[in-house]
Chains A and B, each alone.
Chain A
Amino acid sequence: MEKHPHLLLWKAVFVLIIIGLGFGVYASSKSIDYTWRWERIPQYILSTEPLEIRSPFDGTVTVDETNKLVTVESDFGDEPLVIKGFDTLLINDGDLVFEGDPLVETKHWNIGPLTWGLIMTLQLSVVSLIFAVIIGLFTGLARISSNPALRYLSVTYIELIRGTPLLVQIFIFYFFIGTVLDLDRFTAGVAALSVFTGAYIAEIVRSGIQSIHPGQMEAARSLGMNYVQAMVNVILPQAFKRTLPPMAGQFINLIKDSSLVSVISITDLTKAGREVVSSTFAPFEVWFAVALMYLILTGALSWAIQRLEKRLSASD
């Protein structure tokens, strides 16, 4: 890429525009008289809660010089109690304690509802992604197969799925197929997402395979490989590399599309966001936080795929 003559200037312009936009958001929130309460958000992501450890018997406390080790000698000859790794001491060296007296406090980490939502979104996305890739691979192969039945089947599937909204498909999967096959919410959600994404992946796979020069298949076959061996060892590895960028886009779409399954009461990141809004009354902050958490997922994914692309470019 050629270096732009006024690179620094334009970078400054970019930063100014971003700051301007930020200020715009701030100003407009002022104009509607909104009080930002960011401090309410973190506890819904991660919170701590003190946890006390109490003495199991009557006894005498010894605390070592470093204040890191507490030993309680029992008055009745029980095994002495040794406590390590706590945050706050509640007693002093030499104290006499009775059964049930608090000795020390440790911080206990609690995962908040937004984080649980993030985990659910991640689970939904990963499981759907695996199935979507499998569905897409086989449908893509069927799409270019010489067998007309396979070809028509795959075309029908792809057109049906791409021609209807995902939201409607989710309802169909949950209320119709889910009822018939007795699926739980999560399974129905994963099924809808994988079937939906699979149709798009099929097209990516098809165009990837068709972009490989036919001479590659001929060379492989001329060496005695059968169709499957040639596909697996020669065509697909090359197609895989070429389809990585559109695949990355599709995977990112999958993560974002997974927010739609909140309509069948799966507590994913979006539904968690809605619930937190109703208990904090801080909708702006919550939705910004939720957006940021989606960005972290999609950003990590596109970073990983870029790394993979770099690794695979060794043969270029």
Chain B
Amino acid sequence: MTNVSDKSIIQARNVEKVYPNGCHALKQVSLDINRGEVVVIIGPSGSGKSTFLRTLNQLETISDGTIHIDDISLTDRKTNINKVREEVGMVFQSFNLFPHKTALGNVALSPIKVKKKTRDVAETEGRELLKKVGLAERMNNYPSHLSGGQQQRVAIARALAMHPKIMLFDEPTSALDPEMVGEVLDVMKSLAGDGMTMVVVTHEMGFAREVADRVVFMEEGELVFEESPDRFFESDNPRLQRFLGQVL
């Protein structure tokens, strides 16, 4: 166990998820992710990608199996899930920015309320982060006055403000106009370059090829196949072939 955890920061073992309505969304999913690794998850709609991602910060509880984040068990009742979530940032398809706060307010809110930083410190750090995602000029705008791409970059900065060890991305570019996809992917690339551990659900095959250390294919709640990107896209796995045939 100690041996494994030296490297892997996320360990999901035999994860099962059955929704209250009976939908069996995850079946025996096991995945280890190493520190600094970028893992891309692809798969058809309804295959359980979002569900799996959301179990990693327990936005969804799991029905069976175990998940360890940085050696902390999520299924252990004694675990303080809020502490774990501070370490695991999440970026949503629909941004989910707080509409009543400016860009800077969004970024500074959690450090102030959760990490108990002073407003000054949190806002100074927030400005740095917004600069890093290219929004130095937009700090005092409300989300409704930002483009989709800008909103998503604020959302990334907001997650980074908690200094997470892991970042989860659930189709971060799917809700964007095509011309804005690039600016968000660029931020994610630079984040990967900084050595952030990232789990990314996306349909951007280019991003997977270029940035991922590993690509995972899910279908019907199962983790079907995982490989390094060059071997992944060369694979002759029939289910994967069928899926790639449809999207490419």
Contacts and interface: CB of A to CB of B under 8 A. Distances in A.
Contact of A225 (B97, B110, B144): B110
A224 B59 contact: no
Interface in A188-220: 213, 215-216, 218-220
Contacts of A156: none
A224 B99 contact: no
A241 B115 CA distance: 27
B113 interface: yes
B207 interface: no
Contacts of B40: none
Instruction: With a 10 A CB-CB cut-off, give which of A220, A223, A226 has the most chain B CB atoms.
Output: A223
B57 to A, nearest CB: 6
A224 B110 contact: yes
B59 A223 contact: no
B174 interface: no
Contacts of A224: 82-83, 85-86, 110, 114-115, 162
B98 interface: yes
Contact of B110 (A216, A218, A223, A314): A223
A159 to B, nearest CB: 26
Contacts of A314: 142
B100 A241 contact: yes
Interface string A208-251: 00000101101111111110010001100110010000000000
A223 B142 contact: no
A315 interface: yes
A238 B100 CA distance: 7
A247 B226 CA distance: 54
B90 interface: yes
Contacts of B86: 223-224
B57 A222 contact: yes
Contact of B100 (A222, A225, A226, A315): A315
Given A222-B59, A222-B90, A215 B96 contact: yes
Interface residues of B, number: 30
A243 B20 CA distance: 31
B92 A223 contact: no
A309 to B, nearest CB: 13
A225 B80 CA distance: 11
B158 interface: yes
Contacts of B59: 218, 221-222
A148 to B, nearest CB: 15
B30 interface: no
Instruction: With a 10 A CB-CB cut-off, give which of B83, B109, B144 has the most chain A CB atoms.
Output: B109
A233 B114 CA distance: 11
B114 A229 contact: yes
Instruction: With a 10 A CB-CB cut-off, give which of A220, A229, A315 has the most chain B CB atoms.
Output: A315
A229 B109 CA distance: 10
A219 B144 contact: no
A219 B98 contact: yes
A47 B132 CA distance: 69
B82 A225 contact: yes
A223 B97 CA distance: 12
A233 B98 CA distance: 10
A79 interface: no
Q: Closest 10 CB pairs between A and B?
A: A224-B86, A219-B96, A223-B110, A215-B96, A222-B90, A315-B142, A224-B114, A224-B85, A237-B100, A224-B82
Given A224-B162, A225-B82, A315-B144, 16 more contacts: A218-B59, A218-B96, A219-B92, A219-B155, A221-B59, A222-B57, A222-B85, A222-B89, A223-B85, A223-B159, A224-B83, A233-B113, A234-B98, A237-B100, A315-B101, A315-B142
